[in-house]
């Protein structure tokens, strides 16, 4: 079994448990590799990274316009300027539920 963790996760902080027992992780690139069988319970956890991303779309024509996004893992947890009435709601302080995909 190969389990991919996000590229931004620090591999040294990852923890693998097989049937509730902590196991050493063998790595192939971004994949944790393990031997597992049907009905085994596998869990992999890792620390979330935090960072701020500054988006400046019009760096030449309007360099003063920027939006800052604070990230925790792969979720935006805050932005500046704040989304509000009359502004584009890029971030609404809660996860958005995506509509179901129809085939």
Condensed to tens digits (0 to 9), the pLDDT of residues 31-80 reads 999 999 999 999 999 988 889 999 887 888 888 888 888 988 878 888 88
How many structural domains is the chain composed of?
2
Q: How confident is the model at residue 89 (pLDDT cuts 50, 70, 90)?
A: low
* Shared domain check, 33 and 8: yes
pLDDT surpasses 90 at 21: yes
**In the chain, what is the greatest distance between 2 CA atoms, to the nearest angstrom?**
58
52, two tokens:
């701020």
Last residue of a domain, one of 28, 45, 62: 45
How many helices (H) and strands (E) are present in the chain, helices listed first? 0, 9
Has residue 99 been placed in a domain?
Answer: no
- Give the structural domain span for 55: 48-94
Task: Decide: residue 16, CB within 10 A, 0-12 exposed, 13-18 middle, 19+ buried.
Answer: buried
Residues 9 and 33 grouped into a single domain: yes
Q: What is the pLDDT of residue 87?
A: 62
- The answer on 52 and 89 residing in a single domain is yes
Q: Specify if 39 maps to a domain.
A: yes
One domain for residues 20 and 40: yes
Q: What is the pTM of this model?
A: 0.56
Residue 103 domain flag: no
Same domain? 38 vs 60: no
One domain for residues 56 and 90: yes
Does residue 100 fall inside a structural domain? no
């Amino acid at each position: 079994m190969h389990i991919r963790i996000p590229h931004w996760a620090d591999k040294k902080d990852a923890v693998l448990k097989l049937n509730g027992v902590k196991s050493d992780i063998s790595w192939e690139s971004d994949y944790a590799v393990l031997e597992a069988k049907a009905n085994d319970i596998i869990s992999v956890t890792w620390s979330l990274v935090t960072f701020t991303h500054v988006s400046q779309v019009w760096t030449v024509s309007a360099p003063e316009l920027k939006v800052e996004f604070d990230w925790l893992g792969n979720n935006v947890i805050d932005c500046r300027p704040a989304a509000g009435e009359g502004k584009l709601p890029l971030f609404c302080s809660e996860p958005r539920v995506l509509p179901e995909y129809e085939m």
